[in-house]
Amino acid sequence: MSIEQLLLILVAIVLVALIFYVSSALVASEWSADGPFVLRLLLVSVIAVLVIPFVRDITNEVEIGELGLLFAFVILIFVIRFMLVDELPVSDDWLASIVIALLGVVMIFAVQELADRFFDTRMLSLF
């Protein structure tokens, strides 16, 4: 792995952490973040950037097609539920985790499309 690839992965982790911060702040209507919440955001981002594409690739190897993306999304919902939503003041934990995951994935694909069009690069190529 070259330095450029490592730097791109670090930028992707920070960008995904910012995206999940915005989506969780929109759901909880609370824009403050303390130390433990930031660490949880970074851990969820590492899982989203590194582990979930790995799971998706494994499911593609066993030839179940697009079901791998659905499986990765369900994993993301569970990770968000048990790592992020515990810190948020929401009434329904599962609904909040589904909405945060959905908003996060939509924003990640939007950032990917913008990076593709304006910079001709796959910024979040793991997604």
Q: Measured between alpha carbons, how far is residue 104 from residues 20, 64, 120 in Å?
A: 6, 24, 22
The token duo for 117 is 């069009």
Identify which has the larger pLDDT, 19 or 66. Answer: 19
What the block records as the tokens of 55 is: 């799971």
Please tell me the predicted confidence (pLDDT) of residue 120: 76
Does the predicted model carry a pTM greater than 0.85?
yes
Task: Report the C-alpha gap between 110 and 107 in whole angstroms.
Answer: 5
Q: What does the pLDDT read at residue 68?
A: 78
Tokens of 103: 């908003």
pLDDT tens digits, one per residue of 73-126: 999 999 999 999 988 888 899 999 999 999 999 998 888 888 888 877 766 655
Domain boundaries, the chain: 3-119
Determine contact, residues 97/80, Cβ cutoff 8 Å.
yes
Q: How far apart are CA 47 and CA 61, in angstroms?
A: 20
pLDDT, one tens digit per residue, over 6-65 is 888 898 899 999 999 999 999 999 888 898 999 999 999 999 988 877 887 788 788 887
First-to-last CA distance in the chain? 19
